[in-house]
Structure 1
């Protein structure tokens, strides 16, 4: 019996993947299930387009446009790709290509780490109060290379210190980057992180301090790229704050959308739209 054609959802949104962009990530998205089971009946490209549109616009799951796949299908794929590491795999692949396009080694040796506290909306889910920034919500740890390309991200309650959050992130992911030699941070990580890294990693910590007498925000050499990365994330309406709803309360979902934002940026950089 011939295989049934996948159900397509042709749309013309600004966030839709071009043919070249889809070709770059399709092999990482269209993979057979190791457990077998019924194959999907919906075009995976349409599902990715729906997720990119949601991330950019901040549209609620149930308020999605009618010309995209059903919410249940999009949500199922999102959760599956989040659990099995597909979003991280796509981001890693595109980041390496972007570094090679700049004549850089695919694997970074120097990186930058910083955090951002953001408000959460509605009730439920993990949150905390960041007394320093007067924010009730969650904190996002951004770990990027010297181009500002995302390496890893971690979301946790805002009352967790920068140092403790960084320890959680690095404990889970530092072995994924064997060439890594140095991580640059601001003074917020000065207390305790250096000792932890010396005991648990071979990576050097470089604390970039503010110039004497500086007040307020200023661009600091060697560390400004992570601020730009945070600004890139803010282009996506969904990422300007963390929206907690009944089926989106876990920090891992917030991390997945941050990876999606990075994926969209890297795709547009590698395969520009005409």
Structure 2
């Protein structure tokens, strides 16, 4: 996702694949499609050798957004809310709520299609959200 929470690249894997392992093809795809991207934010699950690999092989800065150990309860982490908001926007698509797709490539296509529909609504002034309704016209 970019700063505006628009999906840039998608990789769908089996549930048995670790997030850190799935990040390698995702970051490679991101680098192929968007060579100007320099900074990627990730959560604590992506720490370790992935940070060094991304810097060395792809020339990407992988910045880990971590929770501090002394926090308790719900805390809004920087940049993490952007991901959660975009995921909630995508879950408005019926085909993404349940696992209807059997092929990972088809699920990736559905994620991109849903994001395209969200992006098409922006120039028209429609905001994605659970309570967005058409504005009644005055007669």
> What is the TM-score of this pair, normalised by structure 1?
0.44
- Give per-residue Cα distances to partners, 1:65-99, cap 9 Å, x unaligned: xxxxxxxxxxxxxxxxxxxxxxxxxxxxxxxxxxx
- Give per-residue Cα distances to partners, 1:121-152, cap 9 Å, x unaligned: xxxxxxxxxxxxxxxxxxxxxxx001101101
Corresponding position of 1:230: 87
Confirm or deny that 1:269 pairs with 2:122: yes
Look up the SS of the partner of 1:157 in the other structure. Answer: coil
The 2-side partners of 1:173 and 1:183 are apart by 10
Confirm or deny that 1:156 pairs with 2:9: no
Number of residue pairs the alignment of both structures matches: 127
Corresponding position of 1:195: 52
Corresponding position of 2:103: 250
Q: Greater strand share, 1 or 2? A: 1
Match of 2:97 among 206, 229, 240: 240
Match of 2:70 among 213, 230, 235: 213
Is contact 2:93–2:114 with CA below 8 Å preserved after alignment?
A: yes
Is contact 1:148–1:225 with CA below 8 Å preserved after alignment?
A: yes
User: What is the CA distance between 1:270 and its match in structure 2?
Assistant: 1.3
Corresponding position of 1:204: 61
Please list every run of 5 or more consecutive structure 2 residues that lacks an aligned counterpart in the other structure. 127-133, 135-139
Structure number with bigger Rg = 1
Is contact 2:90–2:114 with CA below 8 Å preserved after alignment?
A: yes
Corresponding position of 1:183: 40
Is contact 1:184–1:206 with CA below 8 Å preserved after alignment?
A: yes
